[in-house]
Copies of this chain bind each other. A is one copy, B any other.
Amino acid sequence: MASPRLKQWFTILEWLPDARGRRLQDDLLAGVITALLLVPQGMALALLAGLPPVVGLYAGILPPLVYAVFGTSRTLAVGPVSVASLLVANALAGIGAEPGSTEWLQGAVMLAALSAGMLLVMGFLRLGELANFLSHPVLSGFTSGAAVVIIASQVPQLTGIPLPREDGLLTQLYALAIGLSGLRVGPLVFGGVSLILLWLARRSLVRWLARLGVSPRVALVASRAAPLVIVLGATGASALGGHALPGLTLVGDIPRGLPMPSLGFLGGETWRELLPAALVISLVGYVESVSVARVLAWRRRERVDPNQELIALGAANAGAALTGTMPVAGGFARSMVNFEAGARSQMAGVITALLVALAAVLFTPVFRYLPLAVLAAVIIVAVIPLIDLHALKAAWKFDRADGLALVVTFLGVILVDIELGLVFGLAVSLGVFLWRTGHPHAAAVGRVPGTEHFRNVDRHNVETWPHLLLLRVDESLYFANTAILEQAVAARVAEQPQLRHVVLVCSAVNRIDFSALETLEQLADNLARSGITLHLAEVKGPVMDRLRGSGLLEAMGGGRVFLSTEEAVEYLGTRVPPEAESPTGQG
């Protein structure tokens, strides 16, 4: 028996012994279905990354096998993914490589190696939580933007009109408009027909087959196989003479066979230049993978370990680098397909990988006549669902700031630069968070007559006392908001000349940092010089533990820490100083 510790690292020890009987059958079917989808998509994604189509198949062989050894998600489908392909092309164009050159291919492999290194290091340091700093709106804006950029990048293959690749959507639209005369019949026919068929297959095939009385299982397989069937059909049509249509570019010869392990990429020279791109590829790929893995795990009350996922995805990318292909991740759509097709364990991923390997060994020559326009259609149909207008509407409606972060990221990605767009979005979301916590809601409170409840004086009809200020701050106190708290107190001190006691009600203060401590000490001191005493009320246990060791309680002089606001009023309210009037609310 393997030790639990060993099983934690090598999850294959956990799932492999169970892979038999009905379970194995389920995994077999799911693996086949996913492979049917992956073969055309893999080739298309390789082209998106500016790589030979077979490299996309390679990305579906060793990486998922490695993931199956280490991964904690039973149903995550690891392999080539659209956003990573786009980022690879963007990064390599950014360092001035030529698509199709040796330098380009080597660069893609180096990116996989760098991602592997980063993910593994983060995994060993248990930094999985870093991914949490990509907020949902930023991620949504990024994914939608990347999908738009991907679609734009496929327009040349669909139309025959060359477009600049890196200059943002506006330039591309302009180039498209002035280049319309270059529209070519070949790609338009093949691409257009494929687009329509793929779209129909995706949207309606299962429903149609069900109406015809086909069993749901068969209908599912049929709908997942549709892209492959369409690709094969288009290849046939092209081979039978379609390839003579004007402007049509074909895939051409694809070398047959398996990738040979090689460390040749280590000789590359642009490691440093590729670092930022590799970081983005790793983070985005990781976040996408873990998000979908979590969603799927919940459905069967399984668990995903975010740190072990870093290790598993890092190892999968090491496998990608070793077999000369581009960075990989767990794809959202393909994982959903795998899950819905009934995958029970990582065995499904193993089956998929073996089938893709088989395709690489046996069937690549089949695709000789496949028009690139058809693969462009495959990509476009795959990424259209990534454009999430619903998220934009919902985010904007819930919170303008979140909507803004989404829009900034989206526009940054499509108009400026993919990676910069992500950085903009991160900056906005962190900035908004800091701005808000830096501007806490602080309300003077008074007592609801006849109760022990205290409410905002501006909103409720409550008792107040001229010698007493009860101030509730709805935020932890830290460096960015202490000055504002001090100003709020100062403003009220100026307004309330009879003031003798200020009570800070800390029921919503979860933490006090050193800057806040110093500000409070100074505030106590400043108030004391004006004959005003600072008190605290409703301080939480952990905060009180901290304060006890500090100089604040001393700086507060005669100031006390009250368990409740009511206790503060009882104690201070009954001692109205001679020169102060009687409480307004007590007649």
A residues with CB within 8 A of B? 129, 131-137, 294-295, 298-299, 301, 303, 306, 394-395, 397-399, 401-403, 429-430, 433-434, 436-441, 474-476, 478-484, 486-487, 490, 493-494, 507-508, 510-511, 513-515, 517-519, 522, 526, 529-530, 540, 542, 546, 549-551
Contacts and interface: CB of A to CB of B under 8 A. Distances in A.
Contacts of A480: 132-133, 135, 433
A4 to B, nearest CB: 16
A188 to B, nearest CB: 40
Contacts of A402: 513-515
A517 B402 CA distance: 11
A483 B129 contact: yes
A551 B393 CA distance: 12
A311 to B, nearest CB: 18
Given A294-B486, A399-B514, A441-B510, A494 B303 contact: yes
Contacts of A511: 436
A430 B427 CA distance: 13
Contacts of A513: 135, 399, 401-402, 433
A469 to B, nearest CB: 15
Contacts of A436: 511
5 contacts: A295-B526, A306-B487, A398-B549, A474-B510, A474-B540
Top 8 nearest A-B pairs (CB, nearest first) are A135-B479, A402-B514, A298-B526, A136-B515, A395-B514, A135-B515, A474-B510, A132-B483
A404 to B, nearest CB: 11
Given A397-B549, A479-B136, A490-B303, A298 B529 contact: yes
B515 A438 contact: no
Given A301-B530, A494-B303, A530-B301, A398 B441 contact: no
Given A294-B486, A399-B546, A441-B542, 14 more contacts: A129-B439, A129-B483, A129-B484, A131-B483, A132-B438, A136-B519, A137-B515, A295-B526, A394-B514, A433-B434, A433-B478, A433-B513, A437-B476, A440-B510
A67 B515 CA distance: 28
Contacts of A484: 129, 132
